[in-house]
């Protein structure tokens, strides 16, 4: 009786085992194919992020830490763009998100051509990635022939990230 029952049970057992191994191999093959398809996109995203970080480090984004440095930076950018600064005020405050990140807020008032205002704002934002314009007001009063000057009031905000410890000992 054992000779009649054992061979079919062995055949069924071996068949189920080989079927399970086949399914597992197909699953691993599909997973490998999906990963092989994703790998070029992941590598491209990694390279793009690395290039962004290199550009960020090469910029002046980390160099401004105080109100005086921000004032100097804005005055130099305005001078290079041909924008005349009449009034510049910088205040320090904490972020509203509760993360206690310091923010420098700068209000710049000045005169210049529309092109010089655009160049000033473009130069500032391209050299300081963490500096953004929060408001811009332009007014143009009584254009005379040959002059297209306007008054501008621009408010900038710079997020300050501390990269090192600045306090005393523990």
Could you give the CA distance from residue 38 to residue 59 in angstroms, rounded to a whole number?
32
pTM score above 0.75: no
Segment 88-112 shows an average pLDDT of 85
Of 31-40, 72-81, 103-112, 153-162, least confident by mean pLDDT is 153-162
Long-range contacts of range 11-17, CB-CB < 8 Å, 24 or more positions apart?
none
Q: Are 84 and 74 in contact (CB under 8 A)?
A: no
**In angstroms, what is the C-alpha Rg of the chain?**
32
**Which pLDDT band holds residue 132 (cuts at 50, 70, 90)?**
confident
Cα 64 to Cα 72: distance, rounded to the nearest angstrom: 10
Q: CA-CA distances (angstroms) from residue 65 to 60, 71, 90, 130, 159? A: 11, 11, 12, 12, 10
CA 16 → CA 7, 76, 157, distances in Å? 14, 78, 67
Lowest mean pLDDT among 13-22, 85-94, 111-120, 128-137: 128-137
Tokens of 15: 């068949």
Confidence band (pLDDT; 50, 70, 90) for 168? Answer: very low
Percent share of the chain, pLDDT over 90: 41
- Distance in angstroms (rounded) separating the CA atoms of residues 95 and 17: 62
pLDDT surpasses 80 at 90? yes
pLDDT of 169 reads 39
Residue 133: φ, ψ to 5°: -85, 130
């Amino acid at each position: 009786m054992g000779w009649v029952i054992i061979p079919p049970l062995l055949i069924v057992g071996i068949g189920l085992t080989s079927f399970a191994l086949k399914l597992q191999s197909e699953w691993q093959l599909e997973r490998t194919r999906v990963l092989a398809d994703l790998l070029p996109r992941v590598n491209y995203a990694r390279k793009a992020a690395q290039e962004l970080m290199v550009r960020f480090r090469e910029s002046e984004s980390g160099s401004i830490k105080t109100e005086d440095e921000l004032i100097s930076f804005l005055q130099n950018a305005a001078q290079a763009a041909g924008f005349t600064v009449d009034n510049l005020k910088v205040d320090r405050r904490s972020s509203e998100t509760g993360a206690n990140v310091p923010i420098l807020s700068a209000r710049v008032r000045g005169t210049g051509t529309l092109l010089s205002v655009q160049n000033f704002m473009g130069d500032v934002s391209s050299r300081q990635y963490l500096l953004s314009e929060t408001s811009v007001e332009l007014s143009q009063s009584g254009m005379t022939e040959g002059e297209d000057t306007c008054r501008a009031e621009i408010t900038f905000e710079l997020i300050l990230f501390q990269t090192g410890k600045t306090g005393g000992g523990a």
